[in-house]
């Protein structure tokens, strides 16, 4: 079980009248700074600007953001119910792809729905804070479980490639794919991690390289376009990524560039593992074609390094995510076990305890 020291990516300070502290991921690696959010708008902006990012972290931050919105609610349920619906809708508009966001908002909605008509706005605030704290705490435990399941797939001496950031910054603690790597390292396995830069916003270079260095895990930064060469040179045994949304057939939406890595892994006969909590599955979607893909600003590509790197006026296409077909994925590591082979029936089998648990807690 992981017992490492790591700074808290998300921290709710105080009680119902408290506030949210987030590690400002836009400042790393130069500065480890917290961004304090006293209003729901500040949380919404932090999500939109990627100050807090990574599918599970977005869900947790939004849940706390709703509590900040609820601070202004007053009166009885006939008044706060429509206000709550507006706050949930507001956060749902922050980023479209990571389903953990909508999952967390649904949990708050369900909790509020169970309150009697006589419940006051104060009652609602207490319930919402309790639910947000549960989501946060559960994610800590889930990351440890994913780490435990994933570490079994890593062997002493393995080189691995990882993409984007799937560490403690992207979750409540320790991460998903990175938790597997950290757990394997704690078991005494010597690993070497090749970290892709992850253009355009460099989550790999800025965040994953920083996290691995904090944990003393040997790591080498590569350009995204160096991955094929690293594979060809025989330096890696597997590829490890996270996910933002997984359809019922196992197609995975993750940071742009994941699909390319998956194709390269297949060409070099290397397994690709996706690590994600049950809350990242969206069983209402039959395939990855139905996953909404976030389109982001042209400046992220044309001025990503703080100065213009492309001619003024050039047309830019900047999808933040791509979809990797299930057939290219060797296994999906969840807190409930590994889905392998990746297909609808296997997903339903592995996730069935998660669905049972959800029913019991409702
Ligand atoms: O745009 P981002 O940085 O939020 O994208 C994040 C990713 O794609 C991660 O790989 C994913 O959310 C998994 S986080 C454990």
Our mutation pick for probing the ligand 1 site, out of 139, 145, 170, counting the most ligand atoms within 8 A of Cβ, is 170
Question: Is residue 192 within 8 Å of 186, Cβ to Cβ?
Answer: no
Q: Ligand 1 in contact with 203 (CB < 6 A)?
A: yes
**Cβ 198 under 6 angstroms from ligand 1:** no
Q: CB–CB of 160/193 below 8 Å?
A: yes
CB 143, CB 176: distance < 8 Å: yes
Task: Tell the residue number behind the tokens 């966001």, with chain if given.
Answer: 101
Residue 69 CA to residue 240 CA, distance in Å, equals 37
Instruction: List, in sequence order, every residue forming a beta bridge with 255; answer none if it has no partner.
Output: 321
Q: Which of 103, 108, 153 is nearest to 334 (CA)?
A: 153
The pLDDT value given to residue 356: 67
> For ligand 1, atom 6, which residue shows the shortest CA distance?
54
Which residue lies with its CA nearest to atom 8 of ligand 1?
255
CA distance 303 to 310: 7
Q: Which residues are catalytic?
A: 244
Low-confidence ranges of the chain (pLDDT < 70): 1, 356-362
Query: What are the tens digits of pLDDT across the range 159-168?
Result: 999 999 999 9
Q: Is 256 in the pocket of ligand 1 (CB under 6 A)?
A: no
DSSP element (H, E) containing 133: helix 121-151
CB atoms within 10 A of CB 281: 27
Per-residue pLDDT of 43-97, as tens digits, reads 999 999 999 999 999 999 999 999 999 999 999 999 999 999 999 999 999 999 9
C-alpha to C-alpha distance for 328 and 224, rounded to whole angstroms: 19
pLDDT of 361 reads 58
Which residue, 236, 272, 242, 227, is CA-closest to 179?
Answer: 242
Place of tokens 């069935």: 352
Quote the tokens at residue 36: 């304090």
* CA 96 / ligand 1 centre spacing (Å): 12
In this prediction, residue 355 carries a pLDDT of 72
Decide if 275 contacts 166 (C-beta within 8 A): yes
Token couple for 275: 């690590």
Q: Is 55 in the pocket of ligand 1 (CB under 6 A)?
A: yes
């Amino acid at each position: 079980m992981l017992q490492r020291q790591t700074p808290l990516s998300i921290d709710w300070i105080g009680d119902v009248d408290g506030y949210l502290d987030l590690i400002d991921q836009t400042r790393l690696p130069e500065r480890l700074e917290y961004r304090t959010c006293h209003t729901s708008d500040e949380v919404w902006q932090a999500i939109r600007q990627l100050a807090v990012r990574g599918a599970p972290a977005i869900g947790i931050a939004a849940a706390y953001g709703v509590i900040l919105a609820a601070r202004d609610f007053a009166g009885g349920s006939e008044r706060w119910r429509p206000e709550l619906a507006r706050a949930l809708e507001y956060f749902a508009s922050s980023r479209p792809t990571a389903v953990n966001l909508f999952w967390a908002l649904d949990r708050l909605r369900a909790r509020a729905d169970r309150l009697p008509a006589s419940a006051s706005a104060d009652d609602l605030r207490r319930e919402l804070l309790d639910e947000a704290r549960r989501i946060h705490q559960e994610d800590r435990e889930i990351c440890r479980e994913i780490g435990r399941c994933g570490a079994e797939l890593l062997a002493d001496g393995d080189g691995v490639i990882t993409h984007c950031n799937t560490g403690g910054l992207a979750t409540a603690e320790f991460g998903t794919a990175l938790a597997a790597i950290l757990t394997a390292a704690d078991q005494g396995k010597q690993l070497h991690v090749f970290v892709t830069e992850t253009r355009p916003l460099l989550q790999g270079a800025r965040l994953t390289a920083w996290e691995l260095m904090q944990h003393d895990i040997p790591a080498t930064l590569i350009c995204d376009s160096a991955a094929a060469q690293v594979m060809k040179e025989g330096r890696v045994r597997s590829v490890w990524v996270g996910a933002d949304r997984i359809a019922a057939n196992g197609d995975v939406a993750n940071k742009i560039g994941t699909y390319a890595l998956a194709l390269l892994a297949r060409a070099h006969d290397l397994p690709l593992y996706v690590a994600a909590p049950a809350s990242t599955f969206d069983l209402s979607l039959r395939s990855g074609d139905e996953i909404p893909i976030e389109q982001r600003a042209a400046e992220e590509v044309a001025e990503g390094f703080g100065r213009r790197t492309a001619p003024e006026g050039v047309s830019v296409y900047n999808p933040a995510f791509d979809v990797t077909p299930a057939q290219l994925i060797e296994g999906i590591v969840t807190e409930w076990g590994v889905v392998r082979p990746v297909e609808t029936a296997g997903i339903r089998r592995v996730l069935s305890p998660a669905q049972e648990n959800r029913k019991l807690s409702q």
